[in-house]
Every structure is written in structure tokens, then in C-alpha cells.
Amino acid sequence: MAAFTAVSDLKPFKSMWKIRVKIIRLWKQYSAAGGETIEMFLIDENGVKINATVKKDLVNQFDSFLSQGSSKHFCGALVHVGDLIVNKTYQPAKGYSTILYSLEFSLIDLGYTQVRCVAHGALARILNDFWHSNTADVVVCVLRLWRIDWGAGGLTYVTNMEGVSEILFDTDIPEIQFFKSQRLVSKLMPSWKREAEVKKLGYKIYGHPFSTNTRRILAILLEKGLSYEPITVDLKSGEHKREAFLSLNPFGQVPVFEDENVKLFESRAITQYIAYLHSARGTQLLSLESEETLATLTMWMEIEAHQFDPFASRLTWEQVIKPIYGLETDHAVVKESEVGLEKVLNVYEKRLGESRFLACNTFTLVDLHHLPNLQYLLETPTKRLLENRPRVRMWVDEITGREAWKMACDQEKSWFGKQRKDDMTGKAFKMPCEQAKSWFGKQRK
């Protein structure tokens, strides 16, 4: 049997070697200097890629038998998409940081085998954006020219090769049509359906997309890739103070969350319920490694609720909500609240020097709880307090840039677009001044 040398083992001084490669891309190129050449991307069994050129004098000799190899495309239904991991590495020589993205996901193939995959670079971002902006029941995708990494026990995972691999979602290509046409698939589909799963879970949120506390719930449901039924509470007509709503929350406040097992109010209690119930799914938002890490997480959740939120909510109310409804901002309250917020942010600045996020080195519920107020404060002069603290600034940029959060803020995608067609109260909703007072007033006095 001929012995082949791996591309990575080639040495300049070695002359009797054979390599076995596949042509994964082939095209003809013309340049004034080189004339017509054949350009190729070759790949060996270890996934190492090289560029090769057939020079103009040899083109006639090789043209007839060089062709792009047919590569096995992998088709499957997406069943799990993890968290987009962003790694910044500072390049001292170049004077800038490079950002590396990676994302783990799983596909189920026609043999009902779950295949672990890892996307790196641009494809990781493409998949992440697609997953968070798409609410289709089942997403079937095709991986073209991905590399299989084999371990001792067989296939370990499938990963992309920068510049070569492609991912296609739910497009009208034969592989996907074939996949979806299989009887087996239609039988198994319900267990992959995001919507079907949610109908089973029956998650209902009573609230309003402008409400900070409602957005907190949207943020976690979107981080976990869970669907839900949004139900607009008509705050304009005082629906939240009427008997029907008071039976859901006797305090007459949104949001209220309901599934077949439990009815909950208090946004932070709801996020914790979802985070524990779905700890194995989507973004991991808890620090479950030990009692200590969990206690640290709980401590920072309390800090958000009792130190950060009172000042942040008051500043949002005074500077964002009041002007919308024609009420005058009380600048004395703003000044006083900013002094309080500064003290909290100083603690955060120090903490963020010790860990990348507030509770630990990964994004958790603690960071998520801050999002609704931070987002509103970025539209106000208070923004400067977030910007003139470098670590706080980086943290705010990173967490407000998350795809799930961007979607939570897009009310067409995350709220109105998901409402039942007959339930259009939310569309017509406009909050008058009096209502605005009662909506936000109570918690911010």
C-alpha cells in the first residue's frame, strides 16, 4: 500500500513523497503575468488545506482530468445551538485585538443520530444570528465542505474550515427537500419543533414590550431559544388593576408568567425559574459548579435588585419615560440618583477587573437582569457614567450587543409579531400621561 505523507509533515528536503488530497475548489484564472492558470484548493485527510496552481504551460495537459471533487454534504435538523463565544486576543505586534467567535451546535441526521458541531469565525456569527432571528418550527440545514474530526471512539465533531465551508438554512435545495420529505422526519419532527415544544410548555407572558420588567423575561426566553405567547395587558384602560388581572397578580403589575404548572409574578423570580428548568438548553445562565459559585451568583442578583435597580429605574423613569408622555423631568431627582448610581458603578468597575462578567467569567442571569435599564440609560445623558468607566463600558457593550437581547428590544419580532392575529390590543396601545404615572410611578417613588 502506498504510504501517503500528510501535508503538515512535508519537509523541503524530502523528495520522494506522495500526498493524497481532494480538490475542493477549482477555477481558471487569467492574469497578464501568468496567462491562463488552473487554481485549486486542496485538502488532505487531516483537513489541512493548500493552494495549488497549474501553470499556463501545463494547463492543456491537466485540464481534461482535473475536476472539483464531490464532497459529502451533511444535512440535519438543528436541535441545539449554544452560546456565541467571543474571544478577544490582543496582538501586541499589530497593536490591535483579534476577535475569534465560536459556537457549538447539534444536528440530527436522517438516522436520528445527534452530531456535535463547532462553527468558528464568520459562520459562527451567521448561525447565531440566524438562530436568534428565526422562529421556524424546524430548521434543517446543510453543511457543505465541513471537516470531520475523528477521535478514538469515532466521530467527535464536525467543524468548519474558514473560507471554504458553507452553511445553508432551510433553502429550497434538493438535500433539504429530501430531508423534509422523509416519513421518518415528519414523524420525529414534533420533538424538534420549537413551537410545538412551547405549545406543550404553554408559556404565556402577560405584559408590555416597553416595560423593563417584561423585557427581562423576553431576554431569557430568547437566550434559551424558547417560544412563548405574549399577551398585551392594556395598561391604557387600566386592565392591570381590574379583577381579571388581579387574579393573576394581586399587586396589579406586569409581567406575569404562566405555564401549565405555575403562575408567577416578579420578573427575577420568573427568570430564575426558566434558567433552572432549562439549565441544559441554550445559554447557560447559572453558575452551578459549586455552592460557592451559586451563592456568588445569588449575591450579585441581589445587588442588581437592591443597589443598582432603584437608581437605574428612577433615572429611566425621569429621563426616558416622562418625556415620552409629556411629563417634566425632575432634574434634582436625576442628580441625586446619578450620585447613587455612580457609587454602585464604582463597585462594578472594580469587580469587572476581577472577572469578565459580574458573577463570573461567563454571561449569567446577573448580567441579563441589568439589561432593560442599561438599554434605556444608553439613550440618556447618564450614558456618560457608563462610558467613563472603561470596564463597565466594555461590559455594557458586550451584554447589550447579544443577539437575544437585540431581538428582545425589537418589539415587532419579539412581541407584536408573535401575538395571535385576533389580539391586536398591543398594536393600538398608546400610553397617556396619567397611565404612565400609574405604570411606572409606584415602583420608582
Ligand X SMILES: N[C@@H](CCC(=O)N[C@@H](CS)C(=O)NCC(=O)O)C(=O)O
Query: Which one of 20, 200, 343, 442 is in contact with ligand X (CB under 6 A)?
Result: 442
Contact status: 253 vs ligand X (CB under 6 A): yes
Closer CB to ligand X, 76 or 207, in the complex: 207
Contact segment (CB under 6 A) with ligand X among 136-144, 280-288, 405-413, 437-445 equals 437-445
The CA distance from 365 to 300, in Å, is 9
Judged by CB under 6 A, which stretch of 191-199, 246-254, 330-338, 419-427 contacts ligand X? 246-254
In whole angstroms, what is the distance from residue 320 CA to residue 16 CA? 74
Taking CB under 6 A as the binding criterion, the range among 14-22, 180-188, 251-259, 386-394 that sits at the site for ligand X is 251-259
User: In sequence order, what E strands does 82-226 have?
Assistant: 85-91, 96-108, 114-120, 140-144, 147-151, 154-159, 166-169, 204-207
CA distance 266 to 250: 12
CB of 154 to ligand X, least distance (A): 48
Question: What is the C-alpha to C-alpha distance for residues 70 and 95, in angstroms, rounded to an integer?
Answer: 42
Residue 121 contacts ligand X per CB under 6 A: no
What is the closest distance, in whole angstroms, from the C-beta atom of residue 404 to ligand X in the complex? 19
Task: Decide if residue 252 touches ligand X (CB under 6 A).
Answer: yes
Please provide the size of the chain in residues: 445
User: Cβ atoms within 10 A of the Cβ of 150, count?
Assistant: 12
Interaction of residue 315 with ligand X, rule CB under 6 A? no
The Cα 107–Cα 79 span in angstroms is 6
Which residue in the block uniquely carries the three cell numbers 465542505?
145
Per-residue x/- mask for ligand X, residues 210 to 229, rule CB under 6 A?
-xxx----------------
Q: Which residues contact 277 (CB under 8 A, 6 or more apart)?
A: none
| 267 binds ligand X per the rule CB under 6 A | yes
Q: Given candidates 298, 329, 411, 438, which one binds ligand X under the rule CB under 6 A?
A: 438
Interface pick for ligand X out of 115, 231, 254, 341 (rule CB under 6 A): 254
Nearest residue (CB) to ligand X, 316 versus 364:
316
At 39, which helix (H) or strand (E)? strand 35-44
263 touches ligand X by CB under 6 A: no
Binding site for ligand X (CB under 6 A): 211-213, 240, 252-255, 266-268, 438-439, 442-443
